[in-house]
Chains A and B, each alone.
Chain A
Amino acid sequence: AQSVAQPEDQVNVAEGNPLTVKCTYSVSGNPYLFWYVQYPNRGLQFLLKYITGDNLVKGSYGFEAEFNKSQTSFHLKKPSALVSDSALYFCAVRVPRGGGGNKLTFGTGTQLKVEL
């Protein structure tokens, strides 16, 4: 079975400071990893994904994430946070041709709050 853990329910950051939203995963096989963002009363928007290759993945709105196989982590980062980044962030995993089939398994979400 595949699973994702987001250990922090909420992360608070001051605007201009770097931010990190943590994600660890558990799968059998090589994972495909995704980050989504959800603004209030909206659907999930795709931010970035890791499939293969360079461990550092760059995505939308200045976000990036680093795949670390030894630590089974895929933390989301941004060098300088904006108030407009405040939202709910979801990490998700998919295993190619694995027992989970084609489905995406989500973490519980981390609420990011960026303050002035």
Chain B
Amino acid sequence: DAGVIQSPRHEVTEMGQEVTLRCKPISGHNSLFWYRQTMMRGLELLIYFNNNVPIDDSGMPEDRFSAKMPNASFSTLKIQPSEPRDSAVYFCASSGTQGSQNTIYFGEGSWLTVV
């Protein structure tokens, strides 16, 4: 079975540019999560969706960040404009329909460097 698929795996961009990260959750999963990992702050939950609806976006750092889930099989995380402090690994994760009991499965991450 395919796991959570993220693209791009690596991106280097210049400050001020728009960055779009993409995620395809595991088929049949109804919860999707975006996490950010940095050395300084560890793993932070940015936003999560249930049935394509954003439930908690309190972790989104500022208005430059936005996330969408237009359908059950696709989500994007956009940063516009990007800044060097946004350099991090961004993980997408998904889980199934049994609520909190379900395991959250992670993608391999998108490694973002903003120069």
Number of residues on chain A facing chain B (CB within 8 A):
25
- Indicate if the CB atoms of A32 and B107 lie closer than 8 Å: no
How far does the alpha carbon of A107 sit from the alpha carbon of B4 in the complex, in Å? 22
Residues in chain B within 8 A of chain A (CB atoms): 4, 31, 33, 42-43, 45, 48, 50, 55-56, 91, 93, 95, 99-101, 103-109, 111
Contacts of B99 in A (CB 8 A): 96-97, 102
Contact status B48-A43, CB under 8 Å:
no
Q: How far is the CB of A61 from chain B (nearest CB, A)?
A: 16
- The answer to whether A108 and B100 touch across the interface, beta carbons within 8 angstroms, is no
Docked pose: A104 CA to B33 CA in angstroms: 9
Contact of A43 among B31, B50, B55, B106 (CB under 8 A): B106
B100 and A102 contact, CB distance less than 8 A: yes
* A43:B107 contact, CB within 8 angstroms: yes
- Asked if B103 contacts A96 (CB within 8 A), the reply is no
Cβ-neighbour of B100 out of A44, A46, A96, A107 (below 8 A): A96
11 A-B pairs in the complex with CB atoms less than 8 angstroms apart: A32-B101, A34-B103, A42-B108, A43-B4, A46-B104, A46-B105, A49-B103, A102-B48, A102-B99, A102-B100, A105-B45
Interface of B is mostly: strand
Tell me, in angstroms, the Cα distance from A36 to B105 when the chains sit together.
Answer: 10
Q: Which residues of A contact B103 (CB under 8 A)?
A: 34, 46, 49
- Looking at the assembled complex, report how far the CB atom of B36 sits from the nearest CB atom of chain A, in whole angstroms: 11
Whether B33 and A103, one on each chain, are in contact in the complex, defined by CB atoms closer than 8 angstroms, is yes
Using known A-B contacts A32-B100, A94-B100, determine if residue A102 contacts B31 with beta carbons closer than 8 Å. yes
- How many angstroms from the CA of A16 to the CA of B18 in the assembled complex? 49
Encoded as 1 (CB less than 8 Å from any B CB) or 0, chain A from 64 to 102 comes to 000000000000000000000000001000111100011
Complex Cα distance A101/B49, Å? Answer: 11
